[in-house]
């Protein structure tokens, strides 16, 4: 609903943007309204689609640039889906990776405890700091079963 009253932290976004020399445009406000109504996970494409439902003139690049600024402000954090496209966490509470099933498209979260040994081995062995939100593992869930091996002999 256009003109709705936004709750925090969304209500302050306009002043954050102005402090960075960015204008608080109707397009940017629309992105904020869509995010304020979104659950924890939403893809970039879904955000663009929801903006378009309210304003058919929505330009995807404007939406993505706004999302970049919101990520700098800590209001969203992106990872990537199985197709490599952006997948956003709205107001991320904790870092986690994801499992994606290539059969049914299902998605499950990989919490810190489940990946601790893998992550700590990389951090110690490679001295590489892991961004857990970018950990995307693609495979098959138990219901879809493993992909059948090629040619039987």
With contacts defined by CB under 5 A, name the span among 11-19, 25-33, 100-108, 124-132 that binds Zn ion. Answer: 100-108
CA distance 3 to 15: 17
Per CB under 5 A, the list member of 101, 110, 122, 132 interacting with Zn ion is 101
If one asks whether residue 103 binds Zn ion (CB under 5 A), the answer comes out as yes
If one asks whether residue 141 binds Zn ion (CB under 5 A), the answer comes out as yes
If one asks whether residue 11 binds Zn ion (CB under 5 A), the answer comes out as no
With contacts defined by CB under 5 A, name the span among 22-30, 66-74, 124-132, 138-146 that binds Zn ion. Answer: 138-146
With contacts defined by CB under 5 A, name the span among 7-15, 45-53, 103-111, 119-127 that binds Zn ion. Answer: 103-111
CA distance 43 to 107: 13
DSSP 8-50: TTGGGHHHHHHHTT----HHHHHHHHHHHT--SEEEHHHHHHH
Task: Count CB-CB contacts under 10 A for residue 81.
Answer: 18
Owner of token pair 């904790």: 94
Per CB under 5 A, the list member of 104, 137, 138, 147 interacting with Zn ion is 104
If one asks whether residue 22 binds Zn ion (CB under 5 A), the answer comes out as no
Q: Are 87 and 81 in contact (CB under 8 A)?
A: yes
- In the complex, the residues that contact Zn ion under the rule CB under 5 A are 101, 103-104, 106, 141, 144
């Amino acid at each position: 609903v256009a003109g709705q009253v936004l709750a925090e932290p969304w209500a302050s976004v306009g002043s954050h943007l102005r402090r960075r020399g960015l204008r608080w445009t109707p397009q940017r406000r629309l992105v904020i309204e869509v995010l304020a109504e979104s659950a924890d996970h939403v893809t970039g494409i879904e955000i663009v689609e929801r903006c378009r439902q309210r304003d058919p003139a929505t330009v995807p690049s404007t939406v993505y640039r706004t999302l970049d600024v919101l990520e700098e402000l800590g209001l969203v954090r992106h990872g990537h889906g199985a197709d490599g496209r952006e997948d956003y966490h709205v107001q991320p509470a904790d870092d986690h990776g994801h499992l994606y099933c290539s059969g049914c498209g299902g998605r499950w979260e990989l919490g810190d405890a489940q990946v601790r040994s893998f992550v700590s081995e990389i951090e110690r062995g490679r001295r590489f700091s892991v961004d857990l939100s970018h950990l995307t593992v693609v495979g098959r869930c138990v219901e879809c079963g493993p992909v059948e091996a090629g040619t039987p002999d």
